């Protein structure tokens, strides 16, 4: 797992449970085994010795075994860190990763099982964190879009479209899709105070708009969208701010 070079958002992190918080925090900006220099490898060896005693291994590892284990971790788990390794053993010993028996042997197989179990839990926690972060960003984006949304312009656009279709296809019976679009156009208009006398129970939306467009139409001016705009500006309840 590559290093996640970013700062954690505290507002999201605090929504995770304590264990998830710890798992996520050790993912951020840690030096990974694959990038270790000799000095860091020596520190890793010291940590492995401490962990072997911690889990109850009585027989100390030989220098050769320790070197091989360090090499094993740096090559097979290059995206893990010392912080994660220590955390993995702490969680394993407290039963948070499952049951692991070392049989008095701090072997690569034993260490690998603990690391893999920890990686699984860490991946779940990180996925949860990212999903919460993405949701927050989407919510913030939606709020920004809502602030920027111009209901007047949206109303004008949909009414112009309906007016254009009416001019071209007046006299034809609208299909279900066109009827739905007419309903949407009226609902947009109602948001700014237009079409207060319209009732879905009493008349079709297309018929209502047709009567409106007939009253607006000037026979010598085909596709005169300005008529629609003039009507909206004259009758919309919030036009004093335009």
Predicted confidence (pLDDT) per residue in 15-57, tens digit: 999 999 999 999 888 899 999 999 999 999 999 999 999 999 9
Phi, psi of 26 (to 5 degrees): -80, 0
Tell whether 240 is covered by a domain: no
CA angle 214, 219, 224 (to 5 degrees): 80
Residues 108 and 216 in one domain: no
Tell whether 55 is covered by a domain: yes
Q: Report residue 231 as tokens.
A: 């009507």
For the stretch 117-128, pLDDT in tens is 999 999 999 999
Q: Give just the sign of the alpha carbon dihedral 23, 27, 30, 36.
A: positive
Helix, coil or strand: residue 6:
coil
How far is the CA of 31 from the CAs of 40, 46, 126, 150, in angstroms? 9, 16, 18, 49
Q: Which of 132, 147, 162 is the last residue of a domain?
A: 147
Residues of the domain holding 136: 10-147
Residues 160 and 129 in one domain: no
Residues 25 and 102 in one domain: yes
**Cα distance between residue 99 and residue 110, in whole Å:** 11
Is the pTM for the entire model greater than 0.75? no
Residues 35 and 136 in one domain: yes
Please tell me the total count of domains within the chain: 2
């Amino acid at each position: 797992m590559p290093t996640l070079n970013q700062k954690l958002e505290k507002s999201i992190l605090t929504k995770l449970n304590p264990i998830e918080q710890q798992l996520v925090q050790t993912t951020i900006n840690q030096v990974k085994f694959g990038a270790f220099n000799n000095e860091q490898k020596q520190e890793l060896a010291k940590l492995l010795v401490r962990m072997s005693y911690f889990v109850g291994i009585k027989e100390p590892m030989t220098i050769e075994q320790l070197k091989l284990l360090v090499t094993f971790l740096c090559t097979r788990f290059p995206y893990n860190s010392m912080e994660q390794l220590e955390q993995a053993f702490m969680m394993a010993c407290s039963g948070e990763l499952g049951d692991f028996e070392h049989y008095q042997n701090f072997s690569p197989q034993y260490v690998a099982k603990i690391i893999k179990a920890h990686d699984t839990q860490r991946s779940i926690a990180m996925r949860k964190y990212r999903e919460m972060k993405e949701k927050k960003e989407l919510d913030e984006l939606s709020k920004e879009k809502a602030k920027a949304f111009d209901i007047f312009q949206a109303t004008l656009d949909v009414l112009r479209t309906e007016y254009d279709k009416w001019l071209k296809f007046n006299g034809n019976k609208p299909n279900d899709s066109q009827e739905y679009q007419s309903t949407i156009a009226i609902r947009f208009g109602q948001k700014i105070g237009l079409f207060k006398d319209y009732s879905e129970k009493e008349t079709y939306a297309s018929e209502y708009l047709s009567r409106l467009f007939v009253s607006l139409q000037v026979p010598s001016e085909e596709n005169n969208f300005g008529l629609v705009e003039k009507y909206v500006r004259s009758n919309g309840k919030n036009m004093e701010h335009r």
